[in-house]
């Protein structure tokens, strides 16, 4: 099964998911924008509407979508619009790109639960939107941390 998340710079997010039990593979890329086949340089202009995202292929018999959402929520700040740490721009927004109605429902419930938990003092701004075209990022972005450790 597939899951797609935007949580800031995709290098760190991919690394986290790639080392999560039950995840079979990961790919970083761009989604949620209006330009076909964008490059990293295009996305960095902040004019294409794309988010840096990680597409996760996972085995639902080993890890649930809810557990993947836990990895997502626990590893970025979902209260900062278009920003994660020092990275600023629409491409760094917090987003869940759902592939099925069940994923949408689970994501909405998970977001509501997190909001009600009081864990964050600011409002959660994570968007939950249908998964659209996903454009694989350039090869040097794939498994970036493993290549540069």
Q: Is 120 left (phi over 0), alpha (psi -120 to 50) or beta?
A: beta
> What's the domain count of the chain?
1
- Structure tokens, 57: 């292929």
- Containing structural domain, residue 104: 2-147
**Per-residue pLDDT in tens (0 to 9) along the chain, 149 residues:** 999 999 999 989 999 999 999 999 999 999 999 999 999 999 999 999 999 999 999 999 999 999 999 999 999 999 999 999 889 999 999 999 999 999 999 999 999 999 999 999 999 999 999 999 999 999 988 998 888 87
pTM: 0.96
The CATH number of residue 113's host domain is 3.30.1060.10
The set of catalytic residues is 9
């Amino acid at each position: 099964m597939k899951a797609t998340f935007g949580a800031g710079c995709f290098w760190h997010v991919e690394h986290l998911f790639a080392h999560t039990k039950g995840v079979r593979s990961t790919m970083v890329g761009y989604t949620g924008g209006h330009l076909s086949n964008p490059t990293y340089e295009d996305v960095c202009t902040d004019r294409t509407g794309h988010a840096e995202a990680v597409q996760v292929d996972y085995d639902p018999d080993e890890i649930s979508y809810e557990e993947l959402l836990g990895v997502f929520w626990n590893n970025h700040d979902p209260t900062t619009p278009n920003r994660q740490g020092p990275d600023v721009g629409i491409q760094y927004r917090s987003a869940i790109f759902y592939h099925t109605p069940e994923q949408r429902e689970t994501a909405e419930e998970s977001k509501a639960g997190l909001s009600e938990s009081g864990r964050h003092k600011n409002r959660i701004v994570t968007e939950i939107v249908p998964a659209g075209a996903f454009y694989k990022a350039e090869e040097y972005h794939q498994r970036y941390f493993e290549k540069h450790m």
